[in-house]
Amino acid sequence: MTDEDSTLSGGVPEPTVDYERRARRWNVFVTALLVVILFIPMPFVRFETWPAKAMLGEHLVTPWSRFRICYESFPKGEAVAEVFGFNWRGRLKNGDGTNPQFIHPGSVGPAVLKWQNGPEIILHAAYADGDLIRVETYWQPMILWPFKMIWNIRGHFKVPVKS
């Protein structure tokens, strides 16, 4: 058997062509799988003040996601940190197992919202207006989340149109 018999007409050995075909098939499979995952509904959480409806944040929820509301208690001025988590269904749970929808810390000053290990968000306006913090969980496909955020941002930057 000569070298010419074990190569294709382009001069590439047959095993190399077989590996390239496998790699292409694997690439198509992984791409299709990622597209399918983007259309699977995932749980999200939105923090907003109520009744003013000022959005404080929106995040993807996992079973290990958590956030804290930190404040100074009203009568004694002691530092309090309430930790909230989520179950595998995306439902909000606090330490005693209840599912609160509104959070109102009875605090001396403004409360602080901290998602996971991210930066703290000081809730000055909510404290001054006496607003509650509304926590809403919902499900939506992952692919829609960036478009929804763009739509929400667009609403904050309305340009007046002369008619």
Q: Say if 161 falls within a structural domain.
A: no
Q: Say if 162 falls within a structural domain.
A: no
Does 53 share its domain with 124? yes
At 19-53, the pLDDT tens digits run: 999 999 999 999 999 999 999 999 999 888 888 77
Q: Say if 88 falls within a structural domain.
A: yes
Does 8 share its domain with 84? no
Q: Show the low-confidence residues of the chain (pLDDT under 50).
A: 1
What was the pLDDT predicted at 52?
A: 78
What was the pLDDT predicted at 27?
A: 97
What was the pLDDT predicted at 9?
A: 57
Total H helices, total E strands in the chain: 3, 9
Percentage of the chain surpassing pLDDT 70?
Answer: 82
What was the pLDDT predicted at 141?
A: 94
What was the pLDDT predicted at 96?
A: 64
Three-class SS state of 9:
coil
Does 77 share its domain with 133? yes
What was the pLDDT predicted at 99?
A: 64
Question: What is the distance between the alpha carbons of residues 89 and 29, in angstroms, rounded to a whole number?
Answer: 28
Q: Say if 163 falls within a structural domain.
A: no
What was the pLDDT predicted at 8?
A: 53
Q: How many domains does the chain have?
A: 2
Does 105 share its domain with 28? no
Does 25 share its domain with 71? no
Q: What's the domain range around 20?
A: 1-38
Say what the pTM is: 0.70
Q: Say if 114 falls within a structural domain.
A: yes
Does 25 share its domain with 51? no
Does 83 share its domain with 17? no
Does 131 share its domain with 145? yes
What was the pLDDT predicted at 100?
A: 67
Sign of the dihedral defined by the CA atoms of residues 93, 95, 101, 103, in that order:
negative
Identify whether the C-beta of residue 14 lies closer than 8 Å to the C-beta of residue 7: yes
Does 70 share its domain with 17? no
Rounded (10°) CA dihedral 45, 50, 53, 59: -10
What was the pLDDT predicted at 81?
A: 85
Residue 77 backbone zone (phi > 0: left; psi -120 to 50: alpha; other: beta): left
Percentage of the chain surpassing pLDDT 90?
Answer: 21
C-alpha 96, offset from chain centre: 24
Question: What is the distance between the alpha carbons of residues 11 and 75, in angstroms, rounded to a whole number?
Answer: 85
Q: Say if 20 falls within a structural domain.
A: yes
What was the pLDDT predicted at 35?
A: 94
